[in-house]
Structure 1
Amino acid sequence: MSKQLEPAAALPVAVHPEVVPPTKTKKEPYPFWLGGVAATIAASITHPLDLTKVRMQATGDKGMISSLKKTVRTAGYRGLFDGISGTWLRQMSYSMCRFWAYDESKKIVGAGKDAPAWKLALAGSMAGGIAGFIGNPGVLTPSQVRLQGDFAKPPEKRLNYKNCIDGLVRMVREEGWSSLMRGVGPNVFRAILMNASQLASYDFFKAELLKTRYFEDNIQCHVTASFAAGTVATTVCSPADVIKSRIMSATASEGSSSMQVLKTSFRNEGAMFMFRGWVPAWTRLQPTTILIFVTLEQLKNLVDWTRAARGEQ
């Protein structure tokens, strides 16, 4: 009779805790107003150069240094900040809108971290169109341009706006509500060019630099990318910028249609009038672009730090 085998004692089985992959928390978006704050800081610092650019474009001043000297001679050193209130108002509306719209447009077109240049440019164009149209009805750019160019005119032709709000009120009272939309076409076109070239170029150059072994995501990379973006933006935007400045600085009696400005300028100055003021525009836009993006990156770092300090993602 065969011996019956007893069942083997059950060996203890090691129970391993279930491994749950860590959930990746979606990062909260940055405040929509960061771009406006960064642009306001940058524009305040570079305002004298922007003032010189506008006066060269609108009044025909020749030479950046001579235009600066003329401003100091006629209005003192405080004259270098003529129109600063219009600059602040414009940056906290137009610029804030364009940075917000650019981030939203990138989501719409699917422009992620390593998006191709055409997708970034498309998102920038969408943002520029939105911001340019919203900024124009408030006469932010016209009041800024007129405030900056006023003291360069002969005393009998000056508008003598006290500030940007006074400029808005007087334009409506003296020239009608239609003046609020003066130059909307060139303004929107220029905004599309600026955002497609400046914002998109910065993201593109930054991504390309980070692919190399020479750059990390730090100030050195931000400065280099923004320098390249500033050069691209200045060249692309110069023709529209000159035409826009001339249209918006013209009063109703002087004629302000785009075609009239183009015909008169081509006849009197030739095609190169579209690049008048390129040097001061580049000199102004380069530090402005660098300051905008470096400041914006630091503001984002500050937001990240404050969120981490509060235990937020």
Structure 2
Amino acid sequence: MKDDVAPGQKPNSITPSQQIIASSAGALITSLFVTPLDVVKIRLQAQRKPFVKGKCFVYCNGLMDHLCLCTNGNGIAWYKSPGHFRGTTDAFVKIIRNEGVRSLWSGLPPTLVMAVPATIIYFTCYDQLRDILIHRMQNNPEVASLLAGATARLGSATLISPLELIRTKMQYRPLSYKELRLCIQSSVAKEGWVSLWKGWGPTVLRDVPFSAMYWYNYEFFKNWLCRRNNTKQPTFVISFMSGALSGSVAAIVTLPFDVVKTRRQIEVGEREMFNYSQTKSSSTWRLMYTIVAENGFSGLFAGFIPRLIKVAPACAIMISTYEYAKSFFRKLNLE
């Protein structure tokens, strides 16, 4: 995020290519740090309460959700259980010893292939839009950030949605590129080009409000912490704390939409995996009504703690790395 600028000063002091490098670095570091934590969390979770055979479940490595199939009561498709874990540290040690250190980054390659371009589009568009809006909305950086964040997320989610569909299909079963092309052609022939944007609705309902609240609160917390520390430039620690706080708030408010998206993702996954007959999917609001009827209002906030534990550090690492990289390029350009 750029600081407020003096009248007449160019608001964006780094180039778009430098913004791309900064966002790529943030996405890469976020994935490298968060993926092992979530892999271990899922393994411990499977040990305490084994997943039902033949069912899908979702895990997230900070940037992207991944759908996995449970092959038996104790093992998941992408790992073999090396024995009982006594805790988080023991899980790290046993996984590395029995499966190799690479197992801690399960699912990272497909994330980098798709999530890094999505992150580049999102953050670069956000910065460019915020520069334009903040120039027209003097002394109101929070509102400018809210509008820029929502618009950038809407645009990036729409552009990336077909790639998300392709990634999801390849995740269910191994497909050659020829089979994948035929699968997409068949889907387009039956349902038209709009079929490539399946799942766009729930994604937008979750991610656009999340993005709007995240950037609004990030700007608010960043400015507040800068005032408390008597500094005009946000430090790495200020960016980190602001990202964690704003990410936590946005994650809590948008949790019902995340619950709906996860349920729909799992249902679609099981249909694809076991060739169930295609059924008409319910609307987001009808699915919410079903969840409330089955589990009460609290059902919309299932997984509150795990989501908070995942989102807060991911947001903190991403934004602080991004800000640090932009600060580096600003100084480089001045020199």
Normalising by the residue count of structure 1, what TM-score does the alignment of the two structures yield? 0.69
Map of 1:228 onto structure 2: 245
Question: In the alignment, is residue 273 of structure 1 matched against residue 286 of structure 2?
Answer: no
Map of 1:32 onto structure 2: 19
Q: Specify every segment of 5 or more residues in structure 1 that has no aligned partner in the other structure, as ranges.
A: 1-23, 62-69, 151-158
Q: Structure 1: which amino acid aligns with 2:197?
A: M
Please, what is the CA RMSD of the aligned residues?
Answer: 3.8
Q: How does 1:202-213 map to 2 (within 5 A)?
A: 202-213=218-229
Q: Structure 2: which amino acid aligns with 1:137?
A: P
Question: 3-state DSSP class of the match of 2:330?
Answer: helix
CA contact (8 A) 1:98 1:128 kept: yes
Aligned mates of 2:236, 2:180 — CA distance in 1: 39
Aligned mates of 2:281, 2:174 — CA distance in 1: 20
Q: How does 1:105-124 map to 2 (within 5 A)?
A: 105-110=129-134, 114-124=139-149
Aligned mates of 1:166, 1:264 — CA distance in 2: 39
Map of 1:219 onto structure 2: 236
Q: Structure 2: which amino acid aligns with 1:28?
A: S
Distance 1:118 1:102, change over 3 A: same
CA contact (8 A) 1:247 1:258 kept: no
Q: Over residues 26-85 of structure 1, what are the superposed CA-to-partner deviations in whole Å (9 max), with x where a residue is unaligned?
A: 4633423122431232033212556768x99x9579xxxxxxxx8984333566644323
Map of 2:159 onto structure 1: 134
Q: Specify every segment of 5 or more residues in structure 2 that has no aligned partner in the other structure, as ranges.
A: 1-7, 59-69, 80-94, 96-101, 273-277
Q: How does 1:168-179 map to 2 (within 5 A)?
A: 169=181, 172=184, 175-176=187-188, 178-179=194-195
Q: Structure 2: which amino acid aligns with 1:185?
A: G
Aligned mates of 1:50, 1:182 — CA distance in 2: 27
Shift of 1:108: 3.4
Map of 2:213 onto structure 1: 197
Distance 1:136 1:222, change over 3 A: same
Q: Over residues 129-178 of structure 1, what are the superposed CA-to-partner deviations in whole Å (9 max), with x where a residue is unaligned?
A: 1112112122x2x466677xx7xxxxxxxx23479x79965762675555
CA contact (8 A) 2:288 2:300 kept: no
Question: 3-state DSSP class of the match of 1:130?
Answer: helix
> Which segment is superposed worse, 29-38 or 181-190?
29-38
Map of 2:283 onto structure 1: 258
Shift of 1:266: 3.2
Taking every aligned residue pair, what percent have the same amino acid on both sides?
Answer: 22
CA contact (8 A) 1:117 1:204 kept: yes
Q: Structure 2: which amino acid aligns with 1:134?
A: L
Distance 1:287 1:171, change over 3 A: farther
CA contact (8 A) 2:142 2:215 kept: no
Shift of 1:240: 1.6
Q: Structure 1: which amino acid aligns with 2:122?
A: R
Map of 1:91 onto structure 2: 115
> Which segment is superposed worse, 184-193 or 104-113?
104-113
CA contact (8 A) 1:86 1:143 kept: no
Q: Structure 2: which amino acid aligns with 1:110?
A: I
Question: In the alignment, is residue 47 of structure 1 matched against residue 35 of structure 2?
Answer: yes
Map of 1:160 onto structure 2: 173
Map of 1:18 onto structure 2: none
Q: Structure 1: which amino acid aligns with 2:25?
A: V
How many residue pairs were aligned? 265
Shift of 1:308: 4.2
Shift of 1:127: 1.4
CA contact (8 A) 1:227 1:289 kept: yes
Aligned mates of 1:242, 1:301 — CA distance in 2: 37
Aligned mates of 2:306, 2:168 — CA distance in 1: 15
Map of 1:181 onto structure 2: 197
CA contact (8 A) 2:205 2:257 kept: yes
Shift of 1:287: 1.2
Q: How does 1:284-299 map to 2 (within 5 A)?
A: 284-299=310-325
